[in-house]
């Protein structure tokens, strides 16, 4: 049985657990401060993101978050009006969205999100986005547009605490999703056979689970209901590559039924950005086929209930018609992400009951779960294997510099060069951010670990802990700027104090005493400790070992 009643009091260790699972880690000092507040109110503020100002983050984000220089782009010799784009040899914003969408750089987009995870004051918002990114797993390679992928992540931040049916509708209207699972190509006009891709996965993967309350006939009926769902691009969302202006990219899209009706002037079809369109192609179901029976209820999807678009009420009905199935499905996902992989059917039933009772209000559900005795049960501490992106971000957050300190560094800002490590290592470590291989996402927990992914975690750990550098403009810059003196504001007295300090920062699972003693004996043969520069380097090595050890994969 999962005791979902709120805890009346908590300890610093409890708060550290919350920080790891519902954010990307807290320092011992941050945790101690939070532990002085009543748990329920503190968790609510944590979920809402009301506790911290974002002004400093926003200022950095606006123009200097990415320390890796951007190369020049030469103007096309054959395209009239093209203009070369100069190199950016200084810290700058992540140039992947908005007016920079033409760069369409998935690696930079991955880096930008990792940076937000590391530094955004509302850590829970980024954790939430990561949760929903895994549930509504959308692959950037097929979508082919980094800006649309980031737009979907923004949808998760904005709607990720809404009612689940609202979130489901928002995702169903999302441009990246519409490309990913072919909604934009679902044409049921006349006698056409609809494309079932999204209709199947929205139930199997996103709301109910395989074989959990729906039939193949329901899939076909929902596919009819959602026929013609797509998006258009207006003039302000259409971005040209200045160096080759006939290369056009959508920086965003606006949901639109593809129903043959007239479009506003200056509107472009999602797959034809060269010339404005006067009307959306007609792909909607009509006539008797628009009278669908879905999950035991009848809908006329040729017309829309007030405030909706045709078919939207069918999507919403997944949650209402199959409330128990949906609540169980959602409960399993939340437990596996936030609490433990070892939950029982009874635990799922308990949380599912609360989800139903709370009307699928995700904000209320998450506040209750994250303040519950079940969440804080000591048995659940370090009982999950952490995903590689979260693991790397948390290490960088604990060993890197805080935002203000990093921003004051010169010549480059002291921000991690996520752009250098995200593309080669996230995928090989088993989590290609913004580009999962399939709509089923990643399996989490122990599935994160195999010989290959461990190998690439060691590479990430080397970059974070050991101060690896890269060179640009003749200057060697750390990939993850850090200072051992910031890890240890007061000099540790002996090797054990170094270990304790690192364990407090990195918060691994329990490390066997024999392993710890072996490390310390190898690093510091008796009598050699003096907190010299060499000892500081050894502290980096020890941090590396903690990060790479089996206990270092748990959180």
Partner 1 sequence: MVTRRRFLQGVGAAGLALGLERCTARAGAVSAASGSGILVVVDLDGGNDWLNALPPLSGANRNAYDAARPGLGVPALSLVDLGGGVGLHPDFTGMADLWTAGRVAFIPGIGMDNPNLSHFVSADMWGQGAAVPDGSGWLGRFADRAFAPADVLRGISVTSDLPVMLRGRERSFVSISSASGFVYPASLRGNRLGAPWEPQLLEDGFAQAVSSRAVDVAALLGPDGQGGYDAGAAAGKLFLDAQNGFGTDGTLPARTPRVPYPGDAAYPVRRLDGGNLSGSLSAQLKLVARMLASGVVAQVYFTRIGGWDTHANQAVDHPNLLRTLGGTLGAFYQDLATIPATDGTMQDKVMVLAWSEFGRRVKENQGGTDHGTAGLSLCLGNAVHGGFAGFGYPDLGRLDGNGNMLHTTDFRSLYATLLERWLGLGPAETDAVLGRAYPRLGFL
Q: Does 553 bind partner 1 (CB under 8 A)?
A: yes
Q: Is 438 in the site for partner 1 (CB under 8 A)?
A: yes
Q: How far is the CB of 305 from partner 1 (least distance, A)?
A: 27
Tokens of 377: 């049960």
The verdict on 437 binding partner 1 (CB under 8 A) reads yes
Q: Which of 197, 246, 247, 409 binds partner 1 (CB under 8 A)?
A: 197
As measured in angstroms, the least distance from the Cβ of 404 to partner 1 is 29
Q: Taking contact as CB under 8 A, which single stretch among the options 245-253, 290-298, 368-376, 546-554 is the one that binds partner 1?
A: 546-554
What interhelical angle do 197-204 and 312-321 show, nearest 10? 30
Span near partner 1 by CB under 8 A; candidates 122-130, 185-193, 306-314, 495-503: 185-193
Closer residue to partner 1 in complex, CB, 320/344? 344
Q: Which two tokens stand for residue 111?
A: 């880096």
According to CB under 8 A, which one of 429, 464, 484, 543 is a site residue for partner 1? 429
Site for partner 1, residues 341 to 400, rule: CB under 8 A: 341-342, 377-385
Residue 464 and residue 396 in contact, taking contact as beta carbons nearer than 8 Å? yes
Within 10 Å of residue 296's Cβ, how many Cβ atoms? 11
Q: Which is nearer to partner 1, 159 or 389 (CB)?
A: 389
**Helix H or strand E segment including 130:** helix 123-135
Q: Which of 78, 288, 451, 474 lies at the binding interface for partner 1 (CB under 8 A)?
A: 451
Rounded CA-CA distance 301/21 in Å is 41
Q: Name which of 99 and 210 has its Cβ closer to partner 1.
A: 210
> In terms of Cα–Cα distance, which of 124, 98, 295, 89 is closest to 212?
295
Nearer residue to partner 1 within complex by CB, 189 or 367? 189
CB of 354 to partner 1, least distance (A): 20
Element (H, E) at 522: helix 513-523
User: Of 89, 278, 293, 452, which lies in the binding site for partner 1, with binding defined by CB under 8 A?
Assistant: 452
Q: Which of these segments, 52-60, 320-328, 406-414, 547-555, binds partner 1 (CB under 8 A)?
A: 547-555
Q: Round to whole Å and give the CA distance between 426 and 442.
A: 12
Task: Answer whether 389's CB lies under 8 Å from 25's CB.
Answer: no
Question: Shortest distance, CB of residue 397 to partner 1, whole angstroms?
Answer: 21
Q: How far apart are the first and last CA of the chain?
A: 23
Residue spans of alpha helices (H) in 24-105: 28-35, 39-48, 55-63
What number of other Cβ atoms are within 10 A of residue 443's Cβ? 12
Kindly report the backbone phi and psi dihedral angles of residue 244, in degrees, each rounded to the nearest multiple of 5, phi listed first. Answer: -160, 75
Which of 166, 165, 220, 169 shows the shortest CA–CA distance to 197?
A: 220
236 belongs to the binding site for partner 1 (CB under 8 A)? no
Binders in 457-476 for partner 1, by CB under 8 A: 458-459, 461-463, 466, 468-469
Nearest by Cα to 41 from 32, 31, 51, 33 = 51
Of 33, 185, 308, 504, the residue at the interface with partner 1 (CB under 8 A) is 185
Which residues in the 506-535 window bind partner 1 by CB under 8 A? 509-512, 514-515, 518-519, 522-523, 534
Nearer to partner 1 (CB atom), residue 225 or residue 364: 225
| 308 in contact with partner 1 (CB under 8 A) | no
Per-residue buried b or exposed e for 107-142, using 16+ beta carbons within 10 Å of the residue's own CB: bbbbbbbbbbbbbbbbbbbbbbbbbbbbbbbbbbee
Shortest separation between residue 468's beta carbon and partner 1, angstroms: 6
Cβ of residue 211: shortest distance to partner 1, in angstroms? 6
Query: Per rule CB under 8 A, is residue 554 in the interface with partner 1?
Result: yes
Residue whose CB is less far from partner 1, 276 or 311: 311
Those residues whose C-beta lies under 8 Å from the C-beta of residue 518, and which sit 6 or more positions away, are none
Spatial distance between the Cα atoms of 269 and 282, rounded to a whole number of angstroms: 12
Three-state secondary structure string covering 183-252: HHHCCCCCCCCCCCHHHHHHHHCCCCCCCCCCCHHHHHHHHHHCCCEEEEEEHHHEEEECCEEEEEEECC
Q: How far is the CB of 186 from partner 1 (least distance, A)?
A: 8
Cβ distance to partner 1 smaller for residue 266 or 438: 438
Nearer to partner 1, 197 or 472 (CB): 197
Q: Which stretch binds partner 1 (CB under 8 A): 153-161, 251-259, 352-360, 433-441?
A: 433-441
Give the shortest CB-278-to-partner 1 separation in angstroms. 22
CB of 387 to partner 1, least distance (A): 13
**Nearest distance in Å: CB 199, partner 1:** 9
């Amino acid at each position: 049985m999962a005791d979902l009643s709120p805890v009346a009091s908590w300890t610093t260790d409890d708060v550290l657990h919350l920080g790891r699972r519902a954010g990307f880690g807290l320092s011992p000092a941050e945790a101690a401060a939070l532990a002085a507040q009543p748990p329920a109110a503190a968790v609510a503020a944590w979920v809402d993101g009301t506790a911290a100002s974002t002004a400093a983050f926003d200022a950095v984000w606006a123009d200097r978050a990415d320390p890796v220089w951007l190369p020049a782009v030469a103007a096309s010799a054959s395209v009239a009006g093209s203009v070369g784009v100069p190199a950016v040899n200084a810290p700058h914003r992540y140039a992947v969205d908005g007016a920079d969408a033409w760069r369409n750089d998935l690696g930079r987009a991955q880096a930008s999100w990792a940076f937000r995870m590391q530094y955004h004051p509302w850590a829970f918002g980024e954790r939430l986005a990561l949760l929903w990114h895994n549930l509504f797993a959308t692959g950037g390679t097929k979508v082919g547009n980094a800006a649309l992928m980031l737009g979907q992540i923004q949808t998760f931040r904005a709607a990720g605490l809404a009612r689940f049916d609202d979130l489901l509708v928002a995702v169903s209207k999302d441009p990246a999703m519409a490309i990913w699972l072919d909604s934009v190509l679902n044409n049921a006009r006349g006698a056409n056979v609809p494309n079932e891709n999204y209709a199947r996965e929205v139930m199997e993967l996103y709301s109910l689970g395989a074989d959990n309350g729906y039939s193949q006939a329901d899939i076909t009926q929902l596919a009819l209901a959602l026929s013609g769902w797509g998006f258009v691009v207006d003039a302000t969302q259409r971005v040209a590559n200045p160096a080759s202006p006939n290369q056009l990219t959508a920086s965003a899209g606006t949901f639109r039924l593809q129903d043959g009706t007239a479009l506003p002037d200056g509107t472009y079809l999602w797959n034809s950005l060269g010339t404005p369109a006067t009307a959306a192609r007609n792909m909607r179901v009509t006539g008797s086929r628009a009278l669908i029976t879905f999950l035991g209820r009848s809908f006329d999807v040729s017309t829309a209930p007030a405030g909706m678009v045709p078919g939207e009420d069918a999507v919403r009905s997944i949650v209402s018609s199959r409330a128990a199935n949906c609540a169980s499905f959602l409960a399993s996902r939340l437990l596996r992400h936030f609490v433990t992989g070892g939950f029982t059917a009874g635990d799922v039933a308990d949380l599912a009951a609360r989800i139903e009772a709370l009307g699928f209000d995700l904000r209320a559900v998450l506040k209750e779960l994250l303040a519950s005795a079940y969440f804080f049960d000591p048995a659940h501490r370090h009982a999950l294997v952490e995903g590689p992106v979260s693991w790397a971000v948390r290490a960088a957050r604990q060993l890197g510099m805080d935002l203000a300190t990093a921003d004051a560094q010169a010549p480059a800002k002291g921000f991690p060069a996520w752009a250098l490590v995200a593309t080669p290592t996230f995928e090989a470590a088993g989590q290609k951010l913004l580009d999962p291989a399939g709509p089923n996402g990643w399996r989490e927990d122990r599935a994160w670990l195999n010989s290959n992914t461990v190998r690439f975690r060691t590479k990430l750990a080397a970059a974070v802990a050991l101060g690896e550098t890269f060179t640009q403009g003749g200057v060697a810059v750390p990939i993850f700027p850090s200072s051992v003196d910031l890890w240890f504001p007061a000099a540790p007295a002996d090797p054990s104090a170094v270990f304790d300090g690192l364990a407090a920062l990195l918060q691994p699972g329990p490390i066997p005493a024999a392993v710890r003693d072996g490390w310390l004996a190898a690093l510091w043969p008796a009598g050699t400790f003096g907190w010299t520069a060499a000892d500081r380097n050894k502290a980096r090595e020890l941090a590396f070992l903690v990060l790479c050890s089996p206990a270092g994969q748990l959180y």
